[in-house]
């Protein structure tokens, strides 16, 4: 069925583009003396003398060769400039996939977390506030969000870095906002709310004043103390969330991984100076193996749960160490960018090729930061609303009431019983959202001048350059069909009732 859908959709797309555009219009209006020769060359290059349905059949024949492994015979046609689409498409895909992947992961993480917290604090101030925020972001056009990000984030923050001083009044206001959010999330009686809100206010305000006084924004980094504290917090937080603080083996597993991560932080600083992206990939695999092994050998009767804890703690600590190492390279990168690191156009700085992989990563990050946030606003609201509605519905089910009546901790009820069922509709949303993000990148890439898939589509559709348009289409169609297929398989993993032998 997927193959038939792909063939039918490609036929419709091919003929719509071929019949609605004039690929020779720019040449007919040209004053070039060899205009006729150029027209004939383009007709021959793009097979314009062949009827669109037959051209589609020829294109499908070339595209089918892409399925032959190791044959290197893939043929998706050529652009009007004579470049094979198979050469142009991978270059355009890199920036788009980076944006879409980051936006999708962040939307899933923050959207689901916010939705679940809203459901657990139904009709509270936190719930109402984030409901309004999510609906506002959902209704905000992507081009308007991009323009606002350019003006208030890129230009504003770059100007701030010229003299990075946070006024005490601003620090206090930010501390109050954070305190209001924290006390709403924590909930409980008045004493508990005041304690959590007051603590977060003091910590947030004090941290902002410290960052301002020490010039942290110009020389950022967690430092050894920050890495140790964050690693210990990650180990403790993951254990509490998944197993509970009283599970000694789970706590021991997380502690072993945290200690190994902290030791690695100090031991690998020299290696980081000469690392490549391949080296970082190998180290990340080793970190996963350490987390897996710690959970396996310490796990005891609940070995599977402890292996999940070990791997998750290893991932979080690896990310903390990588972020700290990137931040250590920020002063040098900022100097290279003349004090204005956040870019508003392009996917990288033209001609910028330092011998330091960390600066290369920072360059890509700061170029894709605003486009990723712009795409994130499209998906955040959907995940928040689906997660909230699903959690509220699941928490009212009989099996949840039974679990609570048996005396199970609320953490177990929410994480092990309710959350798994909430993931079923969200799995469908992820599958459909990916195609939407790829399509929505057209506007975002145009505004930020990113040479990605959206720019390729827009640049090719206007003059009727058909084969790059079909290359764009085939990627989106294939990804949409693939992720819907993977969603079907995920249903079986999440819900035993739909498993097929």
Surface-to-core class of residue 17, CB atoms within 10 Å of its CB (0-12 exposed, 13-18 middle, 19+ buried): buried
Least confident range from 133-142, 191-200, 231-240, 263-272: namely: 133-142
Average of pLDDT values for 87-100? 83
- Locate 450 and state its tokens: 């990113």
For 53-78, write each residue's pLDDT tens digit: 999 999 998 888 888 777 777 888 88
Mean pLDDT (the chain) is 86
pLDDT for residue 439: 63
For 329-346, write each residue's pLDDT tens digit: 999 999 888 888 988 888
Q: How many CA atoms lie within 13 A of 343 on its CB side?
A: 22
As beta bridge partners, residue 78 has 84
| Cα separation, 38 vs 29, whole angstroms | 12
pLDDT for residue 266: 92
At residue 78, the 3 state secondary structure works out as: strand
What domains, with CATH codes, occur in the chain?
2-75 (no CATH), 92-161+357-464+482-501 (1.10.3720.10), 165-214 (no CATH), 220-338 (no CATH)
Question: Over 70: is that where the pLDDT of 320 sits?
Answer: yes
For 112-158, write each residue's pLDDT tens digit: 888 888 888 888 878 888 888 888 888 888 778 888 888 888 888 88
- Locate 405 and state its tokens: 């009546």
At residue 245, the 3 state secondary structure works out as: coil
For 430-475, write each residue's pLDDT tens digit: 887 776 666 657 788 888 888 888 888 888 888 888 899 998 888 8
Average of pLDDT values for 100-106? 84
Alpha-carbon distance values, 285 to 61, 234, 261, 354, 360 (Å): 40, 19, 13, 26, 22
Least confident range from 216-225, 278-287, 376-385: namely: 376-385
> Could you tell me if 464 and 42 are in contact, meaning their C-beta atoms sit under 8 angstroms apart?
no
pLDDT for residue 72: 77
State the Rg of the chain over Cα: 26
Non-local CB neighbours of 303 within 8 Å, separated by 6+ positions: 295, 296
pLDDT for residue 436: 65
Task: Give how far the C-alpha of residue 470 lies from the chain's centroid of Cα atoms, to the nearest Å.
Answer: 26
> Could you tell me if 121 and 185 are in contact, meaning their C-beta atoms sit under 8 angstroms apart?
yes
pLDDT for residue 127: 84
Confidence category of residue 501, pLDDT binned at 50, 70, 90: low
Specify the residue for token string 């900022």: 334
pLDDT for residue 11: 93
Q: Which parts of 215-302 fold into alpha helices (H)?
A: 223-242, 248-267, 269-273, 277-298
């Amino acid at each position: 069925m997927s193959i038939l859908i792909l063939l039918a959709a490609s036929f419709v797309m091919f003929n719509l583009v071929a019949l609605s555009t004039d690929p020779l219009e720019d040449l007919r209006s040209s004053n070039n003396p060899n205009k006729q020769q150029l027209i004939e060359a383009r007709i021959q290059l793009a097979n314009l003398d062949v009827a669109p349905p037959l051209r589609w059949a020829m294109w499908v024949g070339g595209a089918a060769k892409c399925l032959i492994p190791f044959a290197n015979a893939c043929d998706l046609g050529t652009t009007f400039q004579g470049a094979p689409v198979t050469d142009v498409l991978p270059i355009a895909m890199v920036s788009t996939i980076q944006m879409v992947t980051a936006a999708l992961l962040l939307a899933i993480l923050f959207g689901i977390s916010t939705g679940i917290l809203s459901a657990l604090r139904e009709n509270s101030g936190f719930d109402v506030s984030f409901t309004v925020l999510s609906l506002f972001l959902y209704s905000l056009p992507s081009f308007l969000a991009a323009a606002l990000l350019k003006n208030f984030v890129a230009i504003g923050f770059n100007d701030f870095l010229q003299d990075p001083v946070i006024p005490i009044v601003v620090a206090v206001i930010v501390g109050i906002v954070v305190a209001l959010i924290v006390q709403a999330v924590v909930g409980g009686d008045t004493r508990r709310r005041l304690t959590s809100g007051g603590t977060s206010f003091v910590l947030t305000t004090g941290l902002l004043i410290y960052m301002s006084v020490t010039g942290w924004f110009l020389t950022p980094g967690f430092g050894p103390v920050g890495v140790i504290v964050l690693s210990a917090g990650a180990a403790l937080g993951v254990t509490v969330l998944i197993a509970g603080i009283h599970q000694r083996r789970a706590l021991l597993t997380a502690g072993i991984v945290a200690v190994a991560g902290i030791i690695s932080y100090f031991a690998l600083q020299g290696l980081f100076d000469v690392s490549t992206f391949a080296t970082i990939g190998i180290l990340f695999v080793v970190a996963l193996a350490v987390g897996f092994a710690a959970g396996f050998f310490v796990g005891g009767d609940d070995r599977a749960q402890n292996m999940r804890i070990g791997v998750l703690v290893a991932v979080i600590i690896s990310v903390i160490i990588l972020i700290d190492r990137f931040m250590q390279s920020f002063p040098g990168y900022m100097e290279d960018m003349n004090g204005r690191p956040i870019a508003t156009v392009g996917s990288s700085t033209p001609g910028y090729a330092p011998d330091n992989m960390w600066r290369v990563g920072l360059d890509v990050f700061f170029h894709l930061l605003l486009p990723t946030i712009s795409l994130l606003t499209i998906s955040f609201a959907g995940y928040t609303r689906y997660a909230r509605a699903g959690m509220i519905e699941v928490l009212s089910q009989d099996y949840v009431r039974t679990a609570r009546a048996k005396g199970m901790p609320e953490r177990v009820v929410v994480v092990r019983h309710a959350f798994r069922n909430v993931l079923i509709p969200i799995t469908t949303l992820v599958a459909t959202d990916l195609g939407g993000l790829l399509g929505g990148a057209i506007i975002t890439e145009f505004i930020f001048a990113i040479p990605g898939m959206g720019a390729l589509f827009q640049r090719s559709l206007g003059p009727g350059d058909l084969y790059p348009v079909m290359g764009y289409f085939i990627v989106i169609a294939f990804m949409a069909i693939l992720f819907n297929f993977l969603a079907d398989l995920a249903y079986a993993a999440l819900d035993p009732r739909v498993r097929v032998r």
